[in-house]
Structure 1
Amino acid sequence: MNAAPAASSRAACFARDYPIRFSHCDPAGIVFFPQYLVLFNQLVEDWFNEGLGISYAHLLGPRRIGLPIVRLECDFRAIGRMGETLRFALAVERVGGKSLTLALEASGDGVLRVASRQVLVFTDLETHRAIALPEDVRAALAAGAPAA
């Protein structure tokens, strides 16, 4: 599988450094693979809050707009260890009418650990049906977000 081009090589990229903690690891002290998805979700939340300037909590809470992953690809290339700090990066590959396609990666010491491509769909949390991209999200994307 060929999950995603390197997010760090893309022009518009949002990136954050996250420490790998005990809670991310299995008994061998390496990142348990589903924890990368938790960390990628943390990156998406940070991107909304800091990069787009749109409160992720407000999006889900009062606005009742969900953003589930409907397609997910991951390539696990190298292990991550407890105590490391990895750079997590995100780039927008495609903006659709109701969805976003994101390329994400985690790397450390110049080594790509995980590459992922995710399709997220905006949904009404009452009906759980897809809805159009909110105008403020579309405007933030058009304004050049994500920002570093």
Structure 2
Amino acid sequence: MRFSHCDPAGIVYYPRYLDLCNSLVEDWFTEGLALDYASIIMQRRLGLPTVHLQCDFRKPSVLGETLEMTLQVEAVGSSSVTLFILTQGADNDPRFAARIVLVCTSLESHRAISLPADIREVIDHYRSLCHVG
């Protein structure tokens, strides 16, 4: 964890986990799914806002600690994707867990729309590789 992630006690300031989750989701689209996140937003004019968020803070993370974040797809709806993100320390102890629901929207109307077939296909394939418990 970086100095900018921590509060004066040297413990990760809890909203930083949400920034880390958002970065992970963007990287997952671009690197994990080979769907350029910026192009989805800027060229295709699709939004992927978080509409539901559930978090558990299980153990403090501290300055200098390396964390590992994993992302699993729990469900795919007609316009939504439910993700589970687990953050663990080097000791494999869970630090933070989040269940995030993203909804595909038109950036023109700002209304929910069906996930485009190409995006759904890649997410469904990724989901088939996940082992959600």
Q: Give the structure-2-normalised TM-score.
A: 0.91
1:74 corresponds to which of 39, 49, 55: 55
Tell me if the contact between 1:67 and 1:123 (Cα under 8 Å) persists in the aligned partners.
yes
Q: Does 1:138 align with 2:120?
A: yes
For structure 2, the residue ranges without an aligned partner over 5 or more in a row are: none
2:29 match: secondary structure: helix
Tell me if the contact between 2:21 and 2:85 (Cα under 8 Å) persists in the aligned partners.
yes
Tell me if the contact between 1:66 and 1:122 (Cα under 8 Å) persists in the aligned partners.
yes
Task: Report sequence identity in percent.
Answer: 53
1:100 corresponds to which of 81, 88, 93: 81
Measured on the aligned residues, the alpha-carbon RMSD in Å equals 1.6
Aligned to 1:85: 66
Relative to 1, partners in 2 of residues 1:66 and 1:146: Cα closer, same or farther, differing over 3 Å?
A: farther
Q: Does 1:49 align with 2:57?
A: no
Q: Give the structure-1-normalised TM-score.
A: 0.82
Q: Please identify which structure carries the higher helix content.
A: 2
Partners of 1:124 and 1:146 lie apart in 2 by 27
For structure 1, the residue ranges without an aligned partner over 5 or more in a row are: 1-19
| Paired amino acid for 1:78 | K
- Which runs of structure 1 show a deviation greater than 6 angstroms over 4 or more consecutive aligned residues? none
Relative to 1, partners in 2 of residues 1:51 and 1:146: Cα closer, same or farther, differing over 3 Å?
A: farther
Q: Does 1:125 align with 2:107?
A: yes
Partners of 2:127 and 2:80 lie apart in 1 by 16
Q: How far apart are 1:41 and its partner, in Å?
A: 0.7
Q: Compare relative contact order (CA 8 Å, sep 6+) and give the higher one, 1 or 2.
A: 1
